[in-house]
Structure formats: structure tokens, C-alpha cells
Amino acid sequence: MRQIGAVPVISDTLEIAPPEPPWLALPPEVSDRLRPLTPGLVDAIIQAVPQLVPAYARPMEGNFGRGLRRGVAAALERFLELPGTAMPALSDQSRELVAGLGRGEFRQGRSMDALLGAYRMGARVTFREMSRRSMEEGLGPAVVVDLGESIMAYIDELSAVSAEAYAFEQSERAGAVDRRRAELLELLLLGQADETALRQAASLADWSVPAQVAVVTLPLERARGIRQHLGAGAIVVERETDAVALVPDRGPRQRAELGRVLTGRGAAIGPAGGLDHVAQSLRLAVLAASMLPPREGEDEPPVWADEHMAEVVLAAEPSAVGELSRRRLAPLGGLPDVQRVKLEETLLAWLRHWGQRAPIAEELGIHGQTVGYRVQQLRELFGDDLKDPKVRFELEIALRSDRKAPTPSRQSPR
């Protein structure tokens, strides 16, 4: 509240103080009365938790046993520092310890249920013993009630900190796996890695290599939720304007399910094959889709390349490729030869590397800023055509065919 003259005015912004922690109501002497219980409580909790939480039903010895004992003792000691204070439930040191328990659960491959169950069991044992001692010490029922509320609030904070650390570790792992899967896909699409390197990359990407894999491509704007629909066995990588998925091929039933999942997404699916077939499968999928009218309706099925191989073969007719080259590269026709060659090689590298500046610069031996300048020129020349998957594919065909027999006038330094 503020005051103007003699008239009090209620402020537009109300400051609400955080609620007081329940342990503030406890008499400070509670800590001294209950601290002698600590060694026995540690033993009781360590005995009770494995019996009632199956995930911890293992011998309490070695590093595991010592770590658990230290963790329980530290948690109890921190709790006994709180009565009569407004301190937060956890200090920086104890917060890191509790967060470490959450991270450890994820790394051990367990869900959070086990740790949360252990916290609840520890709270029950702690309240039982501390409430009994409180009554013996004549602290009274009111203290026992406040003690119970304090233990519950303390365990809630431990649970929240551990769960947050677990979720963060899970997110970090997912991010690392996504990066490694993108690297694996790039290796497969380049078609230059040997089988040993591919299988090592697949292991790092947490991907079980199937005997046969189908390659799916679909527009990026229609790829929302596709990871979940394709299942854990699929790899999905988002590129600049499309998404590519590697899907295990398990026969007709899986093919029917894949068709159902991809209906209405404008997808194309290449022929199934081994890992050495991935780059070819993707090319055939894109080519087959480019030969057919766009499938943009919500009920339109995906394009299966192996059902349209005739169209694909016809697309490779040399005179057609020549006409395609003349038409698609027309925006470059009025440029001087040296500038045209530079932009053509940049465009081909841009298509090959999905628009990633660093690989383009490395391939061409030029600075990243030079790449950006050239790409901007290409965008001005080609406009929205560079956003069209079919046009990009046709441009790559034209550029590759144009470089099969270069003439001296088309050679130039970088």
C-alpha cells in the first residue's frame, strides 16, 4: 500500500511472501533431542528400503552400500539442522548430493519410481522413530504433528530435486543420441563408410542395426510427431526443409502399418535394402515422388518408390536430363563463366550438405562468409524454387550431369 497525501492507495502489484517452512514451528531443541537417533535410523532405513523397494534388493556392501549409508546419514543430518529456522530444505552441498542420486538412477537404467519409493520408506521410518522419541522426551503432540509435516515437506523437496536431475540427464542423453543418429544418417547417405565404421556409429547412436531398412522422406512441416508414430526402432533426422527416417523393414504387415502412419504426410519411401543401400534408396524415393502429382490431401497414401520404378527409369533418359539441365539452370545463364562456375559448385555443395555452411566451406576450400554470400546470390536468382524438394532434386541431377564432361571455359579457381 502507498499513500498520496492523506489518502491510502492500494498498489497494483501485491508482493506475496513465500510460505514459511513447517520446520520453523519446531522448537530448536528438537534437534539436540533427536540427533542421538541418527546412527540407529541410518541402520533402520538401510534395512527397510531393500526389503520394501525391489529395485534395491541387493547386498548393502561395497561402493553401493557405502554410498547409500553416506547419503542417508547426510540427509538426516541436514534435516536436523532445520528445526526453528527458515532455512531451505537443502544446502548447496546436499542439493548436489540429492541431484546426483537422480542422475544415478537414470544412468543405472531405472525409473524414478524406485528412488521415490525409497524416499517415502525412509520418511516413514524416520517419522516413526522420531515421533516415538519426541513423546518420550515430553515434547508433546503438537511437536509431533509439526515434525510429521516437516518430514513430509523435506522429502517432497528431495524428490523434486532428484526428479529434476533425472529429467535433465534423460534430456541430455536424448540430445546426444539425436546428434549421433544424425551423424550416422550422414555416413549412410554419403555411402563412403565401411561396415565396421557404420556399426560402431550405430552402437553410439543406440540403434540396433536391422537386416533391411527402408528410407522415408517427407516435408518438414508434416513431420510433427513422426518419431513416436514410427516407433523406437526408427531413426528420424530433421534436415533443412525435410525429414528423413530410417525404418526397419519387417515384411508386409510392417509395410501396411508404415503406409497407415505416413498417410496424409506427403511422404515417399525408397526400396528396402541393407545399410549400403540407404543413399540409393533415398534418391529413388525422391525421384519417384517427383514423377507423380503431389500427394497433399489428408487421405493421400505415401509414394512407394518400388511401385513406380518405370517412372524412375524414364526420368534417367539422357535427352530428358539435358532438357532438365537447360531449364533448371536457366537463372545462371546470363552470368559470366567464372561467376557461373562458382555458383554452380556452391549450389551443388549446398544441396549435397543440406545447406550446412561448415561442410560446404570445407569442400570448396573457402571461408564460411563466402559461402553465405554465394548462397544469398543463389536465393536471389532461384527464389522460392530452392524450397521445393522436387526442384532441389532436379537441380542436383542437372548439376551432376553438367559436370560429367567439363569444358575448359567452365574451369575456374575457387
Q: Do 243 and 144 fall within a single domain?
A: no
Phi/psi class of residue 109: alpha, beta or left (left: φ > 0; alpha: ψ in -120 to 50)? left
Q: Do 370 and 290 fall within a single domain?
A: no
Q: Give me the pLDDT at residue 62, please.
A: 62
Cα-to-chain-centroid distance, residue 20: 38
Measured CA to CA, the distance from residue 316 to residue 320 in angstroms comes to: 7
Q: Is 245 helix (H, G, I), strand (E, B) or coil?
A: strand
- Say which amino acid occupies 139: L
Answer with the residue of higher pLDDT: 73 or 54: 73
Cα atoms found within 13 Å of the Cα of residue 48, Cβ hemisphere only: 18
Q: Which of 284, 313, 342 is the C-terminal boundary of a domain?
A: 313
Percent of the chain's residues with pLDDT above 90: 34
How many domains, in total, are found in the chain?
3
DSSP 48-114: HHHHH-GGG-S-S-HHHHHHHHHHHHHHHHHHTT-TTS---S--HHHHHHHHHHHHHHHHTT--HHH
Q: Which of 152, 173, 194 is the C-terminal boundary of a domain?
A: 173
Q: Is 34 helix (H, G, I), strand (E, B) or coil?
A: helix
Residue 35 pLDDT exceeds 80:
yes
Q: Do 75 and 141 fall within a single domain?
A: yes
Q: Do 309 and 347 fall within a single domain?
A: no
Across 258-367, the runs of DSSP E, i.e. the strands, are: 268-269, 303-304
Q: Is 342 helix (H, G, I), strand (E, B) or coil?
A: helix
Q: Do 152 and 295 fall within a single domain?
A: no
Mean pLDDT (the chain, rounded): 83
Q: Give me the pLDDT at residue 61, please.
A: 61
Measured CA to CA, the distance from residue 110 to residue 113 in angstroms comes to: 8
**For the CA atoms of the chain, what is the radius of gyration?**
33
Query: Cell numbers of 197, please?
Result: 565404421
Q: Which of 287, 313, 339 is the C-terminal boundary of a domain?
A: 313
What angle, rounded to 10 degrees, do the helices at 92-107 and 62-79 form? 140
**Residue 185, in any domain of the structure:** no
- Distances, alpha carbon 140 to alpha carbons 22, 23, 134, 135, 317, in Å: 17, 15, 7, 6, 95
Residue 410 pLDDT exceeds 50:
no
Q: Do 159 and 103 fall within a single domain?
A: yes
Contacts of 173 (CB under 8 A, 6+ apart): 106
Q: Mean of the pLDDT values across residues 243-264?
A: 87
Q: Give me the pLDDT at residue 213, please.
A: 87
Q: Do 61 and 160 fall within a single domain?
A: yes
Assign 413 a pLDDT band (cuts: 50, 70, 90).
Answer: very low
Query: Cell numbers of 110, please?
Result: 531405472
The residue range of the domain holding 245 is: 210-313
173 in Cβ contact with 106 (< 8 Å): yes
Measured CA to CA, the distance from residue 344 to residue 406 in angstroms comes to: 12
Q: Do 116 and 241 fall within a single domain?
A: no
Q: Mean of the pLDDT values across residues 49-68?
A: 71
Query: Cell numbers of 153, please?
Result: 515437506
Residue 157 pLDDT exceeds 50:
yes
Instruction: Give the model confidence (pLDDT) of 301-322 as tens digits.
Output: 999 988 887 667 656 666 767 7
Instruction: Give the model confidence (pLDDT) of 345-393 as tens digits.
Output: 999 999 989 889 999 999 999 999 999 999 999 999 999 999 888 888 8
Residue 138: give its domain's CATH number: 1.10.490
Q: Do 51 and 147 fall within a single domain?
A: yes
Across 116-170, the runs of DSSP E, i.e. the strands, are: none
Residue 350: give its domain's CATH number: 1.10.10.2840
Q: Give me the pLDDT at residue 279, please.
A: 86
Residue 52 pLDDT exceeds 70:
yes
**Residue 189, in any domain of the structure:** no
Q: Give me the pLDDT at residue 57, please.
A: 73
